[in-house]
Structure 1
Amino acid sequence: MTRLNLTLACWDYDRTRAIADGRVRVDGIDLNYVSLPVEETFFRMLRFGEFDAAELSLSSYCVSLARGDSPFVAIPVFPSRFFRHSCIFVSATSGIERPEDLAGKRVGVPEYQMTAPVWIRGILHDEYGIDPASPTYFTGGEEEPGREEKLKLDLPEKFRLVPIGSERTLSRMLADGEIDALHTARAPSSFHHSPHLVRRLFADPVAVEKDYYRRTGIFPIMHVIAIRREVYERNRWIAQSLLKAFVEAQRHTYEDLMISAALKTMLPWQIAAVEDTVRTLGEDWWPYGLERNRAALDTFLRYHHEQGLSARQLAVEELFAPETLEAFRI
């Protein structure tokens, strides 16, 4: 069989590196792995469909899917996951001491539809009773002015979004007290250079996140791998081929992280961190496939709908190529 030539855009993750460097080959495919920062990948794939397959924001993918004309189909591979309690920052002048104090406040978000703020708003609602429609959301560039939503949104009127324009940044506005809080995926620079003005909402976010996981079993999913639908429809077998390759590449990383003779990362207590992670999340702490991620995905899809980003709550099975669901039952 002639091998297909496909291009995949994805960040340089340890769990995908065996695909990028050729140690893991994709059945039937000669893969051109393009390593790009996630924001660039998202923009180029969502706006222009530049790649055959790419890492995508889970939220952006769901926005397109809920509209019924999605140009993508995903596989249940999650290159990015992150507990986001550590990503809520507050201004020293805001008077915010507890999560409940966020109600009715001025909250910055680089994009309302970003996956990280969707999780943050949902967790604040479930855990602390903060209605997602309660704050006013200020949207725009965190460090560079002029950022806009990658996808045009049609939200219910109860959600109030205020673009900050092309001259201001959320990081500076937070330090200056022009916004009370920031929901983000990256720590703002003002948190590092002005710690007297900007702090995390949770002083010990790791403890809060571990407690959250123990109670919910949810390790939040940020990104999926998505294939352009026209590429998938021509050769549906590539969904399962890609899935198998990502699973195999991840297996290499699990093994690498347990090697103690010579550490493969620059983390001095890497082995202790891995052992602690296994105690908390289990041996396969970054699972792929649908069933083991059903609770996390169901929760996210509920948040997505409750926050006005999808007109109906999507079903988990709608997210992924059917061939990949069968593969994980074997």
Structure 2
Amino acid sequence: MARIPMTLACWDYDRTRALHDETVRPEGIALTYLPLMMPESAFRMLHFNDFDASEMSLSWYTRLAALKDRPFTAIPVFPSRMFRHSCIYVNVNSGIEKPADLVGKRVGCPEYQMTAAVWIKGMLADHYGVPVNSVRYATGGLEQPGRREQPMDLPADIVVEPIGDDRTLSEMLESGDIDALYTAHMPSGFARHSPNVRRLFEDYVTVEQDYYRRTGIFPIMHTVVIRQDVLEANPWTAQSLTKAFEESKQRALADLRETTALKYALPWLTAAAEEAREVLGDDYWPYGIDRNRETLRTFIRYSHEQGLIPDRIEPEALFAPGTLASAKI
């Protein structure tokens, strides 16, 4: 049987590189891998259906999954995961010394609905006594002015105010016009060591490891979606891609265990990889439903509590049926 052509837009992660260089080939699929960084791939998929499959923001996708006729369906593959305690920045003159001090403050965020922000708001509410409605959110461009997000129908007690087209969140944090900032991308003021900006959790690795030990959650940022018309024509492509992503990931994890020569330009790579396995387990970047069920349920709960989805759904509702019962994942 001839392989069917498919395009996949996904950043060039180590865990997907075998798909990019065709060391791993999905069964029955002639894959064209387009190494596009987020959010370009997701934006083009959302607005123009540019690809057969694409990396996608978990938050954007969860909102779309609530629709009766979703434009695409995910597979339980998560190329991007990250603990986000390190992504809360504060102005040093804001009076914020501990998480609870965020209550009553004005907090910047590029998008209220972005995945990193959903995790941060939920984590602060669950573990640090900072309810979602206890701060005022200022949204807009981080380094370039004019960013806008999709319309939202939020509860009346959640205040989200655009900063306008002539300012950026990064300079507002440095000047003190916002007290804190939740952002996936490091703000320029912090990157150039501005004395006015610091992280809320300065020892964030210790804090994040403790969070994992208490919750078992390694936050998921992105999933992978397949266009609905592609799935309807060839439902088996969901399982084929899922298996290929898993094999590619396992090759990347093996590279991190290689000690003959360092595969990546990180002097203490071996120590970092061993620490990750000690804290998170041998397969510390799991795909599939079962090992991610609590993480996905928590994110769905956060999305509902933050007014982004009308009802809570089970994780299975997010993914293609053919990927739910694989022994491999």
Q: State the TM bucket, normalised to the shorter chain.
A: over 0.9
Superposed displacement of residue 69, structure 1? 2.8
Query: For 2:219 and 2:120, how far apart are their aligned partners in 1?
Result: 10
Aligned amino acid, residue 256 of structure 1: D
Alignment of 1:279-298 (within 5 A): 279-298=278-297
SS of aligned partner of 2:65: helix
Equivalent pairs, count: 329
Structure 2 residue matching 1:310: 3-state secondary structure? coil
The answer on 1:208 being equivalent to 2:207 is yes
Counterpart for residue 62 of structure 1: 62
> Does the 8 Å contact 1:289/1:328 carry over to 2?
no
Is the Cα–Cα contact under 8 Å of residues 243 and 328 in structure 2 kept in the other structure?
Answer: no
- Where does residue 234 of structure 1 map in the other structure? 233
Q: Bigger shift: 41-50 or 7-16?
A: 41-50
Secondary structure of 1:36 counterpart: coil
Match of 1:125 in 2: 125
**Structure 1 CA distance, aligned partners of 2:68 and 2:307?**
16
* Structure 1 stretches lacking a partner, 5+ long: none
Match of 1:199, as an amino acid?
Answer: R
- Greater than 3 Å deviation, 4+ residue runs: none
Deviation by residue 1:100-156 (Cα, 9 ceiling, x = unmatched):
01112111111111000000000000001211011111111101111111x332222
Task: Describe the SS at the equivalent of 2:133.
Answer: coil
2:246–2:287 Cα contact (<8 Å) kept: yes
User: Could you tell me how far apart the structure 1 residues matched to 2:196 and 2:268 are?
Assistant: 31
Tell me the distance in 2 between the aligned counterparts of 1:313 and 1:28: 35
For 2:57, the aligned partner's letter is S
Deviation, 1:317, is 0.8
Q: Aligned AA for 1:17?
A: R
Instruction: Give the corresponding residue for 2:53.
Output: 53
- What amino acid sits opposite 2:88 in the alignment? I
Specify the SS of the correspondent of 1:126: helix
Partner of 2:142: 142
Aligned residue type for 2:40: E
Normalised to the residue count of structure 2, the TM-score between the two structures is 0.98
Kept after mapping to 2: 8 A contact 1:56/1:223 = yes
Q: Report matched runs for 1:20-31 at 5 Å.
A: 20-31=20-31
Q: Which SS does the other structure have where 2:30 is aligned?
A: strand
Residue pairs, 1:239-318, within 5 angstroms: 239-318=238-317
Cα pair 1:82 1:219 within 8 Å, conserved: yes
Distance (whole Å) between structure 2 residues aligned to residue 85 and residue 195 of structure 1: 20
Q: Offset of 1:50 from its aligned partner? A: 1.0
| Structure 2 stretches lacking a partner, 5+ long | none
Aligned equivalents of 1:231 and 1:138: distance in 2? 39
Structure 1 residue 328: Cα displacement: 3.6
Structure 2 counterpart of 1:186: 185
Change (3 A) 1:328 1:169: farther
Q: 3-state SS of the aligned residue for 2:324? A: helix
SS in 1 for 2:14: coil
Q: For the residues of structure 2 that align with 1:115 and 1:68, how far apart are their CA atoms?
A: 22
Q: Deviations over 1:177-201 (max 9, x none)?
A: 0101101101100112243100000
Give the distance between the partners of 2:16 and 2:328, measured in 1 at CA: 23
3-state SS, counterpart of residue 9 of structure 2: strand
Say whether residues 1:9 and 2:9 are aligned partners. Answer: yes
Does the 8 Å contact 1:11/1:38 carry over to 2?
A: yes
Cα displacement string for residues 210-248 of structure 1 (whole angstroms, at most 9, x for unaligned residues): 000001111000000001111111110000000010000
Alpha-carbon distance in structure 2 between the residues aligned to 1:39 and 1:173: 23
Structure 2 counterpart of 1:250, one-letter code: K
The alpha-carbon distance between structure 1 residues 272 and 194, as it changes in their structure 2 partners (threshold 3 A), is: closer
Segment of structure 1 superposing worse, 115-124 or 41-50? 41-50
> For 2:243 and 2:193, how far apart are their aligned partners in 1?
46
Q: AA paired with 2:312?
A: Q
CA RMSD of aligned residues (A): 1.1
Aligned to 1:110: 110
How far does residue 67 in structure 1 lie from its aligned partner after superposition?
A: 2.9
CA contact (8 A) 1:9 1:41 kept: yes
Q: CA contact under 8 A between 2:256 and 2:270: conserved in structure 1?
A: yes
User: Structure 1 residues 329 and 34 mapped into 2: Cα distance closer, same or farther (>3 Å)?
Assistant: closer
Question: Which secondary structure state, in structure 1, belongs to the residue aligned with residue 298 of structure 2?
Answer: helix
- Percent identical pairs in the alignment equals 57
